[in-house]
Amino acid sequence: MAILDTAAHLTLPKVLLIEDNPVDARFVSGLLQAQSPQLECRHVSSLAEALPLLEAETFDAVLLDLNLEDSTGYETFAAVHRAAAAAASILVLSGSDDEELAIRTVREGAQDYLVKGSFDGGLLLRSLRYAVERKHSEEALRKSEATVRAVFEGSLDGIVIMEDHGICLEANSAAVAMFCCAREELVGRNILEFFGKDFSAEWMRLRVSGSGRGQFWVLCPAGANRLLDCSFKTNILSGQHLAVLRDITDQHNLEEQLRQSQKMEAVGRLAGGVAHDFNNILGVISGHAELMQLQAIAPEQRSKAAKILAATDKASSLTRQLLAFGRRQVVTPELIDLRDVLGELNTMISSLMGAETQVVLRARDPLGLVRADQSQLEQVILNLTTNAREAMPHGGTMTIALENHTTGSDDAELPQGEYVRLSISDTGCGIPAELVPQIFEPFFTTKKTGSGLGLSTVYGIVKQSGGFVTLQSAPGQGATFKVYLPRVLDEVPRPVRGEEAAPAHFDGSETILVVDDEDELRDAVAEYLEGRGYNVFRAKNGQEAVLLAEKWQRKISLLISDVIMPKMSGRMLVDYMRKSRPETAVLVISGYADDETLRRGLIKTASFLQKPFTLQMLGAKVRELLDERKVGR
């Protein structure tokens, strides 16, 4: 391209002269050579010669006569302008009677025009220089505008330019997507219509302050509202204002999920602590009630003891819900066919729903197996069916469906994998959309008398089992809860759980060390075991148990220890006994323990009892552990 040298003289390597008059052509060429001997000037006399030359070579400037042998007038300029494109500046050589036409060519893209016979060599060279400079400036401006437009359209942030009253003057593609409409619907429309009522006041405040930032919800027609982080700058041009928008909906949702997780974790820790103390109390009550039942002679006494035990069993169900919600429950996962679980609960569910509600069961065959704790899954099903019944106070239809489900990488709700899906649907009143995100929160309820623990317990159990739970609902259209549990492949299911016959007796003569800081519970356990023939030592903490073990020189067959105790914890006591008396079996009991305890290697699942437990359960577990030691020797 032509440039100015250090001496401020123009160097034009290549100029194309298109002129059919030989006299005029020699005159113009001579003027140029006289002014700039290094200038290269090519001459053609027709449009047919010029166009291939412009396409094949690059020229810095074109001197163009509009009236040629094979083309005249504006068509000549238009053809040369298309062929020269952005490469060359065009200087029109016009006759005196064609000045109006020459002016038109300047409006359409020529850099200047000269009237033949009215210029000398100096004026011609200066005109060429100015034409090239203007061409360069126009090209730089065009590139700058193209760059700005590319940045404007390519920005991932939405960019909106509006006037004083909020009318959109321009918007990029990202902004159009955020407002969920076509560009034609957005430009020319008041931007305030897309935001909530609080935006109008905020807009006036920003107008006055000149700049600012805020977060506002965009009300999309389809209902999928978006949260936008908006940065404003007023009067970027006279009466025009700039808004830069960033969609932070996903970030907002993740933050809400984090807050929800933290809230549930905090309540879970609280639930675990409460359950620990409550289970100890229930253990004392149930232990002594069971002793009364075993020792009672009169049927009335046994009946009263049985009522106490039934009450403690109901109370322990509440603590199990708290522990399951807080994920603080020790579970016994096993391979389960959910059809078997539903089969065992079928009668209970039908009774629960009542005569006015129709229960429909649908199970695909074959159905995959899941690894979970059966009692927990029963709790999930009963909580969800109870929720469905309460949503249909005047009756309706509840559908329970079981099927295999495969998710791909494009599924936004679930990780890719194989699942067994349990769906429980009702035809009840449904749940408003704004309440759906809160439905699994602890103590949140839409019922007048609800505790708010039912669905949060479902959430905790499903998460503890490695699964996911979702809700689809709308007012007047019922609700569908879907529980996804990872499907286990190539496994043989364990036999369906049924009524197991109680052992004929749990008697023995071995020496057992019972350690618990709850005096009443410790005494009840010791009294029961002594009644079965065992030699029992009692200790209220780990330190006392160590002193007893050191004084007793003979064999201690079994250690029964609580986990959380003052002075010396159950963990430290178990470690001591394993080192000093490796022949001693260990049974850990606790009202507050979680799978983390097991993962750290304190106990095996087979040698753990969750408080509250019955003395019959304890007797069976004690006998099982002692017999295992005998067989293992």
Q: How confident is the model over 343-366, as pLDDT tens digits?
A: 877 877 887 787 788 888 888 878
- Give the Cα-Cα-Cα angle 532, 538, 544 (nearest 5 degrees): 160
- Taking only Cα atoms into account, the Rg of the chain, rounded to an integer number of angstroms, comes to 44
pLDDT at 495: 45
Instruction: Using the predicted structure, report yes or no on whether residue 443 has a pLDDT greater than 90.
Output: no
Q: What is the DSSP string of 337-404?
A: -HHHHHHHHHHHHHHHH-TTEEEEEEE-SS--EEEE-HHHHHHHHHHHHHHHHHH-TT-EEEEEEEEE
Tokens at residue 454, please? Answer: 């039912």
pLDDT band at 536 (very low <50, low <70, confident <90, very high): very high
Q: Are 34 and 125 in contact (CB under 8 A)?
A: no
Least confident of 64-68, 305-309, 540-544: 305-309
Distances (CA, A) of 125 to 29, 119, 312: 11, 10, 109
pLDDT at 548: 92
What are the beta bridge partners of residue 216?
228
* Residue 419 CB burial class (10 angstroms; 0-12, 13-18, ≥19): buried
Element counts in the chain: helices (H) and strands (E): 18, 24
| Average pLDDT of the residues in 54-79 | 87
190-223 burial, b at 16+ Cβ within 10 Å, e below that, comes to ebbebbeeebeebbeebbeeeebeeebbbeeeee
The reply to whether omega before 442 is within 30° of 0 (cis) is: no
Q: How confident is the model over 110-138, as pLDDT tens digits?
A: 888 888 878 887 788 888 888 788 877 77
Pairing between strand 357-363 and 585-590?
Answer: unpaired
Q: How confident is the model over 160-188, as pLDDT tens digits?
A: 898 888 888 888 988 888 888 888 888 88
Summary mean pLDDT of the chain: 80
Amino acid letter for position 434: E
What are the beta bridge partners of residue 94?
115
Q: How confident is the model over 213-261, as pLDDT tens digits?
A: 878 888 776 656 788 888 888 888 888 888 898 888 888 877 877 777 6
pLDDT at 489: 74
Q: How confident is the model over 580-598, as pLDDT tens digits?
A: 999 999 998 887 655 455 4
Pairing between strand 3-4 and 10-11?
Answer: antiparallel
pLDDT band at 3 (very low <50, low <70, confident <90, very high): very low
564-586 burial, b at 16+ Cβ within 10 Å, e below that, comes to ebeebbbbebbebbeeebeebbb
- Give the Cα-Cα-Cα angle 331, 334, 340 (nearest 5 degrees): 115
- Give the Cα-Cα-Cα angle 60, 62, 67 (nearest 5 degrees): 175
Distances (CA, A) of 407 to 51, 410, 413, 415, 486: 62, 8, 9, 7, 11
Instruction: Using the predicted structure, report yes or no on whether residue 96 has a pLDDT greater than 80.
Output: no
| Average pLDDT of the residues in 288-303 | 81
Sign of CA dihedral 319, 320, 324, 329: positive
Round to whole Å and give the CA distance between 539 and 525.
12
Instruction: Using the predicted structure, report yes or no on whether residue 484 has a pLDDT greater than 90.
Output: yes
Q: Please tell me the number of Cα atoms within 13 Å of 546 on its side-chain side.
A: 16
The reply to whether omega before 486 is within 30° of 0 (cis) is: no
Other CB atoms within 10 Å distance of the CB of residue 338? 23
pLDDT at 564: 81
Round to whole Å and give the CA distance between 632 and 101.
113
Instruction: Using the predicted structure, report yes or no on whether residue 107 has a pLDDT greater than 70.
Output: yes
What are the beta bridge partners of residue 405?
419
Round to whole Å and give the CA distance between 426 and 352.
14
| Average pLDDT of the residues in 69-81 | 88
Q: How confident is the model over 453-462, as pLDDT tens digits?
A: 678 778 888 8
pLDDT at 6: 35
